[in-house]
């Protein structure tokens, strides 16, 4: 079956041949995978590109990448999920990072104060979620920035409510669209729709302290009545709306916290196992130790079961907050 690749793919392939740094090559291959149609004719090519992508990432992590701008600007995922921030200059992303996490970024009134990825951990109840601040998105933004956005579990688009949020929103969408990244509330049918990498996102209108009556936020919502992704107004400076933002981030990550309970002992309620929503008892057993899956006879569940301590089997779907006692 022929591949039937679109012209955009061949244009990206040409840029790949001319790319110098590993970071640039990684970003371009990710773009090629997003452009490539899904059918049997592209299976071998897709597998080849994924192998090349894995090798480049491994070399980059080991510091073996060839010289070039952005070679070492990658972020290893940590915590319960990785959330990356995107926005125009002076949208307050660095202040938001400082207010939500223990990070100490450079916070300045001048644009482009963030030159490389900066990370911190959001503490939400008893888990930690990684937050990544990135250089602002402009027409000259390096490709490695889009690579990090493409690989994040969730994107926060941060805009300044006191500036031109509507114009900034349109510009950010256009820049992401050029790199075939689409922002959605939910991802269906894998991570691709119509040749684009679909990323779950929240639109954050920052500097709400400059909009005390919420009139600017209300006007923004009225101008975009069909906006699909969740939209929140916050103030990184005063803390307004940050608790709600943390809750929304947790919900959008679609993860659950499960607490393994050794027979005859109490569970550790401060150190849950993090699993994707929809996971089963079998998934939990495999996460704890791969040998548990074959040896697992049954489990007892407190929480989502019909009654506390109910005996269930491998295919039982778990919910957030479940306590699970595995019997092997």
Q: What is the pLDDT of residues 254-304, one digit of tens each?
A: 999 999 999 989 999 999 999 999 999 999 999 988 888 888 889 999 998
Using DSSP's 3-state secondary structure scheme, residue 142 falls into coil
Which pLDDT belongs to residue 251? 96
pLDDT digits (tens, 9 = 90+) for 214-238: 999 999 999 998 888 999 999 999 9
User: Across residues 93-111, what is the average pLDDT?
Assistant: 78
**Cα(80)–Cα(275) distance, rounded to whole angstroms?**
9
Its pTM stands at 0.79
CA distance 233 to 29: 35
Strands 273-276 and 255-260: antiparallel
Token readout for 196 is 């684009």
Confidence of residue 20 (pLDDT cuts 50, 70, 90): confident
Domain architecture of the chain: domains with CATH:
7-61 (no CATH), 82-253 (3.40.50.300), 256-327 (3.10.20.30)
| C-alpha span between 183 and 124 (Å, rounded) | 24
Kindly state the helix (H) or strand (E) to which residue 9 belongs, with its residue range: helix 7-18
Contact (Cβ atoms closer than 8 angstroms) between residue 209 and residue 234: no
List the structure tokens of 188: 């269906």
69-74 mean pLDDT: 53
How far is Cα 131 from Cα 312, in angstroms, rounded to an integer? 36
| Lowest-confidence pick of 97-106, 173-182, 311-320 | 97-106
Say which DSSP state 135 is in. Answer: P
207, two tokens: 């500097």
| Partners of 199 in beta bridges | 183
Q: What is the structure's pLDDT at 71?
A: 43
CA–centroid distance for 309 within its chain: 35
- The predicted pLDDT at position 68 comes to 45
């Amino acid at each position: 079956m022929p591949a039937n690749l679109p012209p955009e793919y061949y244009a990206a392939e040409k840029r790949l041949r001319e790319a110098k740094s590993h970071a640039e090559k990684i970003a371009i291959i990710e773009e090629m995978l997003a452009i490539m149609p899904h059918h049997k004719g592209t299976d071998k090519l897709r597998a080849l590109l994924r192998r090349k992508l894995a090798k480049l990432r491994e070399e980059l992590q080991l510091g073996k990448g060839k010289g070039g701008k952005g070679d070492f600007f990658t972020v290893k995922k940590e915590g319960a999920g990785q959330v990356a921030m995107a926005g125009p200059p002076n949208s307050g992303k660095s202040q938001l990072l400082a207010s939500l996490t223990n990070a100490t970024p450079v916070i300045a009134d001048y644009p482009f104060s963030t030159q490389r990825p900066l990370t911190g951990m959001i503490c939400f109840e008893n888990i930690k979620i990684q937050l990544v601040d990135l250089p602002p998105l402009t027409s000259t933004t390096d490709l490695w920035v889009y690579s990090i956005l493409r690989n994040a579990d969730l994107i926060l688009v941060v805009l300044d409510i006191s500036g031109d949020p509507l114009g900034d929103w349109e510009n950010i969408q256009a820049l992401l669209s050029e790199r075939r990244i689409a922002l959605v509330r939910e991802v269906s049918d894998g991570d691709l729709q119509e040749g684009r990498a679909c990323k779950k996102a929240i639109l954050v209108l920052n500097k709400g302290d400059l909009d005390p009556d919420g009139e600017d936020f209300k006007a923004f919502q009225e101008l975009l009545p069909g906006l699909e992704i969740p939209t929140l107004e916050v103030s990184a400076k005063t803390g307004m709306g940050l608790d709600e933002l943390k809750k929304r981030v947790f919900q959008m990550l679609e993860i659950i916290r499960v607490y393994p309970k050794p027979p005859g002992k109490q569970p550790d309620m401060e150190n849950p196992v993090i699993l994707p929503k929809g996971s089963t008892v079998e998934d939990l057993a495999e996460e704890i130790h791969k040998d548990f899956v074959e040896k697992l006879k049954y489990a007892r569940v407190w929480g989502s079961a019909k009654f506390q301590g109910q005996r269930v089997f491998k295919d039982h779907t778990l919910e957030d907050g479940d306590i699970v006692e595995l019997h092997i």
